Chain A
Amino acid sequence: MADQSVTAGLTRSRARPGEALIKILLRLCAVVVLLTTVGIVASLLFETVEFFRDVGFGEYFTGTTWAPTFKPARFGVLPLVAATFLITLIGAVVAFPLGLASAIYLSEYASNRVRKIVKPILEILAGIPTVVLGYFALTFITPTLLQKLVPGTEVFNALAAGIAVGIMIIPMIASISEDAMRAVPQSLRQGALAMGATRRTVATKIVVPAALSGIAAAFILALSRAIGETMIVTIAGGLNPTLSADPRQSMETMTAYIVQVSLGDTPAGSTAYKTIFALGTTLFVITLALNTLSYRIVRRFREKYE
Chain B
Amino acid sequence: MSVAAPPAPSATSLATGRRAERSVRALTFQAVLLMCLSVGLMTLLVLLIDVFRDGVGSLNADFLNNLDSRFARRAGIRPALIGTLWLMGLVAVISFPIGVGAAIWLEEFAPKNKFTALIDVNIANLAGVPSIVYGLLGLAAFVRFMHMGRTVLAGALTLVLLILPVIIVSAREALRAVPDSIRHGALAVGATTWQTVSRHTLPAAIPGIMTGMILGLSRAIGETAPLITMGALTYVNFVPTGPLDRFTAMPIQIFNWTSRPQAEFQNVAAAGIILLLGALLLMNAVAVFLRNRYERRW
A residues sitting closer than 8 Å to B (CB atoms) are: 1-7, 10, 12-16, 19, 22-23, 25-34, 36-37, 39-40, 43-44, 46-47, 97-99, 101-102, 104-106, 109, 118, 120-125, 127-136, 138-140, 167, 170-171, 174, 190, 192-194, 196-203, 221, 224-225, 227-231, 234-235, 255, 258-259, 262-263, 266, 268, 276-277, 280, 283-284, 287-288, 291-292, 295
Most buried by A among B14, B30, B41, B128: B128
Residues 192-221 of B, flagged 1 when their CB comes within 8 A of A and 0 if not, give: 111100000000000000000000001101
Considering only residues 90-127 of chain B, those with a C-beta below 8 Å from chain A are: 97-102, 104-112, 116, 118-119, 122-126
Residues of A within 8 A of B276 (CB): 129, 132
Q: Contact size class for B?
A: 35 or more
Residues 252-291 of B, flagged 1 when their CB comes within 8 A of A and 0 if not, give: 0011001100000010011001001100110010001000
| A3 with B108: CB separation less than 8 A | yes
A2 in contact with B33 given A40-B137, A284-B129 (CB within 8 Å): no
| B284 with A46: CB separation less than 8 A | no
B244 within 8 A of A: no
| B37 with A263: CB separation less than 8 A | no
9 tightest A-B contacts by CB? Answer: A228-B130, A129-B222, A29-B101, A101-B36, A43-B140, A193-B15, A230-B225, A26-B105, A291-B128
Residues of A within 8 A of B26 (CB): 198-200
C-alpha spacing A201/B21, complex, angstroms? 10
Residues of B within 8 A of A104 (CB): 33
B82 within 8 A of A: no
| A283 with B20: CB separation less than 8 A | no
| B102 with A277: CB separation less than 8 A | no
| B30 with A200: CB separation less than 8 A | yes
C-alpha spacing A105/B32, complex, angstroms? 9
A3 in contact with B129 given A26-B102, A136-B47 (CB within 8 Å): no
| A10 with B101: CB separation less than 8 A | no
| B51 with A135: CB separation less than 8 A | yes
B residues sitting closer than 8 Å to A (CB atoms) are: 1, 4, 14-18, 20-21, 23, 25-26, 29-30, 32-34, 36-37, 39-41, 43-44, 46-47, 50-51, 54, 97-102, 104-112, 116, 118-119, 122-126, 128-137, 139-141, 144-145, 161, 164-165, 168, 180, 183-184, 187-188, 190-195, 218-219, 221-225, 228-229, 231, 234, 251, 254-255, 258-259, 266, 269-270, 273, 276-277, 280-281, 284, 288
Given contact pairs A32-B164, A197-B17, a sample of 6 additional A-B residue pairs in the complex whose CB atoms are under 8 Å apart = A3-B109, A109-B34, A127-B218, A128-B277, A134-B255, A231-B224
| A44 with B4: CB separation less than 8 A | no
Residues of A within 8 A of B139 (CB): 43, 262, 266
| A30 with B136: CB separation less than 8 A | no
- Among A15, A167, A200, A255, which residue has its beta carbon within 8 angstroms of that of B132? A255
| A23 with B194: CB separation less than 8 A | yes
C-alpha spacing A31/B122, complex, angstroms? 10
Residues of B within 8 A of A109 (CB): 30, 33-34
Query: How many pairs of A and B residues are in contact by the CB < 8 Å rule?
Result: 320
Residues of B within 8 A of A34 (CB): 118-119, 122
C-alpha spacing A259/B270, complex, angstroms? 21
C-alpha spacing A4/B43, complex, angstroms? 50
Chain A: minimal CB distance from B101 (Å): 3
| A130 with B25: CB separation less than 8 A | no
- Closest A residue to B43 by beta carbon equals A167
Chain A: minimal CB distance from B149 (Å): 12
C-alpha spacing A7/B197, complex, angstroms? 13
| B14 with A7: CB separation less than 8 A | no
Chain A: minimal CB distance from B226 (Å): 9
Q: What are 23 of the A-B contact pairs (CB < 8 Å)?
A: A1-B112, A13-B195, A19-B194, A27-B110, A33-B165, A37-B122, A101-B37, A105-B36, A109-B34, A118-B37, A124-B44, A127-B219, A135-B273, A139-B50, A139-B270, A167-B40, A198-B26, A201-B17, A228-B133, A230-B224, A268-B144, A280-B136, A291-B125
